[in-house]
Every structure is written in C-alpha cells, then in structure tokens.
C-alpha cells in the first residue's frame, strides 16, 4: 500500500525526520504515535502530496504522492467548514461525492441511499439531518468519517480524530471505526495520543521520535522504543 | 407601465442581473468573500469613470479593470480571506484613481456621476440588454462546469485540496465570475449599491434553505421578485429603483432575523 525508501520528511529548508524505510501492506490498520513536532502530520500530508518530499522515495498504491488522491480520504486535524447555518451533515457528505469532477452535482436516488448507508455505518442516523452547526464535536467527527468514506477510498488517513473528544464520544468514534473495519476493505493510518484506547483494533504502529521513524508490530514494541506516552 | 420600452428594458435587464447575482451571491457568502465583492464593486467606479473619459461604454472599462483585479485576487487564493489589509490597500489606490477620473469626467458630463454611483436601470438600452444576456450566458456556463468542485472547495477547502481539487484555479475562475457579475450589477444598482444584489439574496437563501440547491433557488427568486416589486414601486411612487430594491431586500432579510430571534426565545 505504502512504500518509503530512504525517505526524509520536512519543509523546504528544514528536515523534520531523518531518512527512514517503511513498507505498509494493503488494508493494514496502522497507528502513528509520537511526540508533537516529530513529523506525524507531515507524513500524512506528504502522502497526499500537499507537502513535497525532501529526499528519498515514496510510493502510494504504486504511484507518486498526489497522483492517486481520489483513492485516499483524509480527515484533517484542523478544518474550516463553511456550511450555511441550516445545512446538515448530510449536505457535507453529499457535497464531497466526486467533488473533484467538473459539472453539475447530481444527487440521485443511488447517492442518497449510499449516503444513508454510510450515516448508519458511523452511527449518525439520529442527527445527520440536523443543522451541522448545532452538532457536538463527537457528532461532527462521525459525520467527517462518513464523508471520508463516500467515494470508497482504499486508504483512510486520520489526523488526531480523538483529540478534544470526551471519553464517551471517543468510545462512539472507535465503535464507528470498528464497524468500518468489519464492513469495508481499506487501509487506515491514524495519528493519536490516545493509542491505548484504539491499539487493540490496529495491526501495527509507526513510532515517530527524535531517534527516527520505526515500524513496530506491537504496542509493546513501541514502549521499548522509549515512547513515554503509553 | 409595461407599454413603455424603457420599462421593458429595465425589467429584462434587471431579471438577467438579478438571476446571475442570486446564484453568485450564495458562493460569495459560503466562501466568505464579502469584502472582496464589496471592493470590486467600488473599484468598478474607477473603471466606468475611465470609460467615460475615453468615450467607450462604461461596462467595457469596468470589465477590464475588474478582471485584472480579480485575477490578482484569485492568485492570492486563501490569503485574501485572511488578509483584508491587502484588499483595503488596493481598493484605496484604485478608488484614488477613480476620484481623479471622476473629477475630470464631471467637468465634461455634469450629472452623469449619479448614474455611475447609483445606477440607472431605466437608461438600459436594447444593446445593453444583449450585452448583459451574453455575459449572463457566459457566467451560467462557467458556473455549470465548475459547480461541483466549487461547492466542495467552498464548503470544505482542506479536504477538497487533499482530493486534488485545484482550489487556486477555482479561486481565480470564481473571482473572474465575480468581476463580470459586479460589472453587470453596476448597470442596475450602481457602483455604491452593488453589494445589495451580491450579498443580501444569498444571505436570505442561507436563512431559509437547507441544501445548496434550495439556497440558490431562494436567492434567485428573492432577487428577481424584489427587483420586479422595486420597479413597480419606483414607477408608481416616483422613487429611485436602487432605494426600493435595497429596502425590500433588507426588509426580507430582517424577517429571517426576527424568525431566528423568535425561535431562540421559545
């Protein structure tokens, strides 16, 4: 799914990580952990091609970064949603359906059914048709999750989706991820500082630290990698 | 009153402009480009004054100036929203030039300044209607082609960019659409009140609509209905059309505000 060879991440003149090698298999669910500023979000943005590679090679689904973004869904850590006051979560999900294609957006019965299915899958049926502005943080995150799935992605990138959520909302979000895992075949990369809560659903971990970027097959392995947050 | 050709022209010209403004205003609000739209409207004053000095139709000067400024604003992309200062500086510079052109223009054509500032819908000629119709068709075609990525990028710009939507290209195209719309609206409501048709119909649509299609439909309907009623009021009460249109749209908007207050107090 993702192959990194001698990859260095960073911005134009500043390296964030030393060179590293990684190979992530198809449909693997990966947890990304590490302290702030170690390059976790930079890694996701580099996969999307939003931030260019400093050095080395990165291949996603056999292509260069940015070339297969229609097969990748990304839930950003910070986002600016410009929905009108009365527009619902359903409107947000619908608006992103093939949003990169030119032409009139046609909302047919097939799309409506698909959106309803996704809303049910993430457990947002009770509030998806309410005004998006009135939803809680946890409810909005589940709408984002449904939006991310609308174009049947092969990879889902989540940048700290559990941040700012209370334990109850976190639990609901993790349950929604579990349901997705059961129903859809896709790879997932999730950045979180609350990895202990989601670790049991993940196949492996990538640890970003000052010493470099390491692939850890188990959570214990991350602990041995001197990560202090666990 | 519709037997008079100037009233017929006012109606046709007004409907063309109100329809285009009704569509574009929704995106101005969603994309938070209110100040940019306002600035373009005011800057078109300079374009029309320069046209008058050169002896060419006002809409030509407005279009040229607005399109150049729109491309610059579009190239700035998101920065323009976060940095009102740069729009303010460009607006001041262009308005300064406009003031000088106005001074020169006034010496030759005293009295016509009011038409530039407040518009004169009753002076719209048949040729101008064809010009407005041609520009409206161009805008509608562009909007049909870009509507899906424009809606996506307007509502959720970060995710749209991650899905390879060319947010900057869309920004430039939409600014061009806005520039043409502003130039058209100036013929009806003038440079000072162009904001009326570019903001309030969309704002009313957003107050009452739940989906993007409904919001656009409400916005276009309100803009057209207000224009027709304003023409009637203007004809029978001998009041300026711009004034009637502004009051009608502001009154309709205030109904939405009252409804919101009542709902919140319940």
> What is the tens place of the pLDDT at every residue in B38-73?
888 888 888 888 888 888 887 888 889 888 888 888
Contact of A53 with A35, CB cutoff 8 Å: no
Which of B148, B173, B199 to mutate to test binding with chain A, by most A CBs within 10 Å of its CB? B148
Q: Can you tell me the mean pLDDT for A59-68?
A: 90
pLDDT band at B204 (very low <50, low <70, confident <90, very high): very high
pLDDT grade, residue B22 (50/70/90)? Answer: very high
Q: B161 contacts in A (CB within 8 Å)?
A: 50
Whether A33 and A208 have beta carbons less than 8 Å apart is answered as yes
Q: What integer best gives the mean pLDDT of chain A?
A: 86
pLDDT at B81: 61
> Among residues B244, B128, B111, which one has the least CA distance to residue B189?
B244
Residues in chain A with CB shorter than 8 Å from the CB of B155 are 81-83, 91-92, 95
For chain A, how many structural domains are there in total?
1
Cα→Cα distances B262→A5, B96, B254, B266, Å: 62, 45, 12, 6
How distant, in Å, are the alpha carbons of A91, B89, B184, B217 from that of B157? Answer: 15, 26, 28, 24
Q: pLDDT band at A216, cuts 50/70/90?
A: confident
Q: Are strands A29-34 and A187-191 parallel, antiparallel or unpaired?
A: parallel
B146 CB-near residues (< 8 Å, 6+ apart):
A102, B170, B173, B174
> Does the beta-carbon distance from A82 to B32 stay under 8 Å?
yes
Phi, psi of A8 (to 5 degrees): -120, 130
pLDDT (tens digit per residue) in B230-245: 999 999 999 988 889 9
Choose between A159 and B90: higher pLDDT. Answer: A159
Q: Which residues of B touch A104 (CB under 8 A)?
A: 144, 147-148
User: Is the confidence at residue A230, as pLDDT, over 80?
Assistant: no
Q: What is the mean pLDDT of residues A42-70?
A: 90
Residue A227, pLDDT above cutoff 60: no
Interface-testing mutation among A50, A80, A88, A99, with chain B (most B C-beta atoms within 10 A): A99
Residue range B94-142, pLDDT digits in tens: 889 888 887 887 665 555 666 777 777 888 889 989 999 999 999 999 9
Rounded distance between C-alpha atoms, residue B3 and residue B92, angstroms: 44
Q: Which of B28, B164, B218 to mutate to test the interface with A (most CBs of A within 10 A)?
A: B164
Q: What is the pLDDT of residue B108?
A: 58
How far off is chain A from B167, nearest CA to CA, in Å?
A: 10
Is residue B221 scored above 90 in pLDDT? yes
Q: Report CB contact under 8 Å: B210, A86.
A: yes
pTM of the model: 0.85
The whole-angstrom separation of Cα A131 and Cα A110 is 23
Q: Which domain holds residue A37?
A: 2-192+201-228
Nearest CA in chain A to B163: A69
B59, B187 Cβ separation under 8 angstroms? yes
Average pLDDT over residues A20-31: 90
Asked if B151 and A98 come within 8 Å (Cβ–Cβ), the reply is: no
Instruction: Answer yes or no: are the C-beta atoms of A74 and A148 closer than 8 Å.
Output: yes
> What is the chain B residue with the closest CA to A70?
B163
* Minimal CA separation from B154 to chain A, in Å: 7
ipTM: 0.81
- Would the CB atoms of A84 and B206 count as touching at under 8 Å? yes
Q: Which of B47, B53, B37 is nearest to B179 (CA)?
A: B37
pLDDT of residue A47: 93
First-to-last alpha carbon distance for chain A, in angstroms, is 27
**CATH number where A23 lies:** 3.40.50.300
Q: How confident is the model at residue A229 (pLDDT cuts 50, 70, 90)?
A: very low
Closest chain B residue by Cα to residue A48: B162
């Amino acid at each position: 799914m993702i192959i990194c060879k001698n990859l260095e991440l960073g911005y134009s003149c500043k390296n964030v990580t030393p060179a590293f090698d990684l190979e992530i298999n198809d449909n693997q669910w990966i947890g990304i952990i590490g302290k702030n500023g170690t390059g976790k979000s930079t890694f996701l943005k580099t996969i999307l091609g939003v931030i260019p590679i400093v050095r080395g090679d990165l291949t996603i689904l056999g292509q260069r970064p940015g070339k297969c973004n229609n097969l990748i869904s990304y839930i950003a850590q910070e986002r600016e949603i410009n929905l009108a006051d009365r527009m619902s979560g359903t409107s947000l999900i619908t608006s992103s359906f093939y949003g990169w294609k030119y032409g009139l957006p046609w909302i047919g019965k097939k799309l409506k059914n698909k959106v309803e299915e996704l809303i049910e899958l993430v457990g947002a049926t009770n509030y998806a048709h309410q005004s998006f502005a009135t939803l809680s943080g946890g409810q909005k995150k589940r709408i984002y999750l449904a939006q991310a799935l609308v174009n049947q992605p092969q990879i889902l990138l989540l940048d700290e989706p559990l941040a700012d959520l209370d334990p109850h909302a976190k639990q609901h979000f993790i349950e929604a991820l579990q349901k997705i895992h059961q129903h859809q075949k896709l790879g997932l990369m999730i950045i979180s500082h609350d990895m202990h809560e989601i670790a049991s659903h993940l196949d492996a971990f990538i640890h970003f630290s000052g010493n470099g970027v390491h692939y850890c097959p188990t959570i214990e392995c991350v602990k041995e990698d001197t990560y202090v947050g666990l | 009153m519709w037997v008079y050709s100037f009233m017929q022209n006012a109606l046709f010209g007004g409907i063309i402009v109100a329809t285009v403004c009704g569509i574009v205003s929704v995106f101005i609000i969603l994309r938070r480009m209110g100040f940019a739209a306002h600035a373009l409207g005011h800057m078109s004053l300079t374009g029309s004054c320069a046209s008058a000095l050169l002896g060419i139709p006002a809409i030509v000067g407005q279009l040229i100036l607005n399109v150049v400024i729109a491309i610059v604003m579009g190239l700035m992309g998101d920065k323009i929203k976060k940095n009102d200062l740069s729009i303010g500086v460009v607006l001041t510079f262009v308005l300064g030039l406009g003031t000088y052109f106005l001074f020169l223009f006034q010496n030759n054509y005293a009295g016509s300044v009011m038409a530039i500032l407040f518009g004169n819908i009753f002076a719209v000629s048949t040729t101008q209607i064809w010009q407005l119709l041609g520009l409206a068709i161009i805008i509608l075609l562009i909007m049909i082609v870009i509507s899906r990525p424009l809606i996506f990028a307007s509502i959720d710009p970060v995710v749209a960019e991650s899905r390879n939507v060319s947010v900057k290209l869309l920004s430039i195209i939409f600014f061009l659409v806005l520039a043409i719309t502003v130039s058209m609206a100036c013929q009806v409501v003038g440079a000072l009140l162009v904001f009326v048709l570019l903001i309030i119909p969309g704002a009313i649509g957003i107050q009452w609509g739940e989906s993007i299609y409904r919001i656009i439909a409400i916005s276009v309907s309100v803009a057209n209905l207000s224009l027709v009623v304003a023409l009637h009021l203007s004809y029978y009460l001998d009041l300026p059309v711009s004034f009637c249109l502004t009051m009608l749209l502001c009154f309709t908007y205030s109904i939405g505000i009252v409804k919101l207050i009542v709902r919140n107090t319940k």
